[in-house]
Chains A and B, each alone.
Chain A
Amino acid sequence: GQQVMQIPQYQHVQEGEDFTTYCNSSTTLSNIQWYKQRPGGHPVFLIQLVKSGEVKKQKRLTFQFGEAKKNSSLHITATQTTDVGTYFCAGETTDSWGKFQFGAGTQVVVTP
């Protein structure tokens, strides 16, 4: 079955530094979504990518969908303490329409 892997599992970042988290699927995805979950909170939708090679930006966050639509990345520049949380990717395939497979998440800790 479809598997979505995220790396790294944990990311310690110094405030002001950049980092990237990666999402890889064992199968071709029709689209991919990213979510952020603050400690003690619930996942909040950030963005959806649909097209091969698509790149979208939200302020300091840059999201990319691979050409083969099997991987994605989230890059955060100039990390702030407000970026603390767990970032999940979730992929949908044509076989699993309406049902997204979530990755295990990247837990981000920011050191002031």
Chain B
Amino acid sequence: EADIYQTPRYLVIGTGKKITLECSQTMGHDKMYWYQQDPGMELHLIHYSYGVNSTEKGDLSSESTVSRIRTEHFPLTLESARPSHTSQYLCASRGGAYGYTFGSGTRLTVV
């Protein structure tokens, strides 16, 4: 069973709106990640964190920001959404030397 939760599952918003995508995990993992993925395509790392108060930008240039105030919570914020942000956003966590556990994702559409 998934122990990493993303909300909302689907979101349609207008251009220019500010949005926050939520991600929480109950596994106590230190490492958390945000990926952007168009359907069936490659995963692009946009942000990651190795612990509380630690955040880094990934390989994909993004107009988003993240925060890591609590171990279990890693929200992603888009200050001003644009149609080019339309995509699926996947949150993941990793404990120790194991694989990533991915959330179910947020499918974002900006109109």
A98 touches B43 (CB 8 A): no
Is B48 a contact of A99 with CB atoms below 8 Å? Answer: yes
The reply on B42 being an interface residue by CB < 8 A is yes
- Separation of A41 and B43 alpha carbons in the complex (Å): 13
Contacts of A33 in B (CB 8 A): 99-100
Task: Determine which of A48, A90, A99 lies in contact with B97 in the assembled complex, contact meaning CB atoms within 8 Å.
Answer: A48
Q: Is B41 touching A43 in the complex (CB atoms < 8 A)?
A: no
Count the B residues whose beta carbon is within 8 Å of the partner chain — how many?
23
Alpha-carbon gap, A3 to B99, bound state (A):
19
Of the listed stretches B12-20, B74-82, B101-109, name the one at the interface; the rest are far from the partner chain.
B101-109
How far apart are the CA atoms of A45 and B96 in the complex, in Å? 14
Mask: chain A, 1-40; 1 = CB below 8 Å from B; 0 = not: 1000000000000000000000000000001010100010
Which residue on chain B has the smallest CB distance to residue A98?
Answer: B31
Contacts of B66 in A (CB 8 A): none
- B42, A105: Cβ atoms closer than 8 Å: yes
A96 to chain B, nearest CB (A): 10
Q: Complex: how many Å from CA A18 to CA B23? A: 38
Interface magnitude class on chain A: 20 to 34
The answer to whether B102 touches A43, judged by C-beta atoms less than 8 angstroms apart, is yes
Contact of B98 among A35, A43, A45, A104 (CB under 8 A): A45
A42 and B104 within 8 A (CB): yes
B50 touches A88 (CB 8 A): no
What CA separation (Å) do A35 and B94 show in the bound complex?
14
Q: By the criterion CB–CB under 8 Å, are A42 and B40 in contact?
A: no
CA distance A103 to B102 in the complex (A): 16
Contacts of B103 in A (CB 8 A): 42
Per-residue interface assignment for chain B, residues 52 to 74, with 1 indicating a CB less than 8 Å from any chain A CB and 0 otherwise:
00000011000000000000000
Q: Please tell me if B90 contacts chain A, counting CB pairs below 8 Å.
A: yes
User: Which residues from chain A contact B90 at a C-beta distance below 8 Å?
Assistant: 42-43
B40 touches A45 (CB 8 A): no
Judge if B45 is at the interface, Cβ distance under 8 Å.
yes
Q: Which 4 A-B pairs have the closest CB atoms?
A: A45-B99, A42-B102, A104-B42, A102-B43
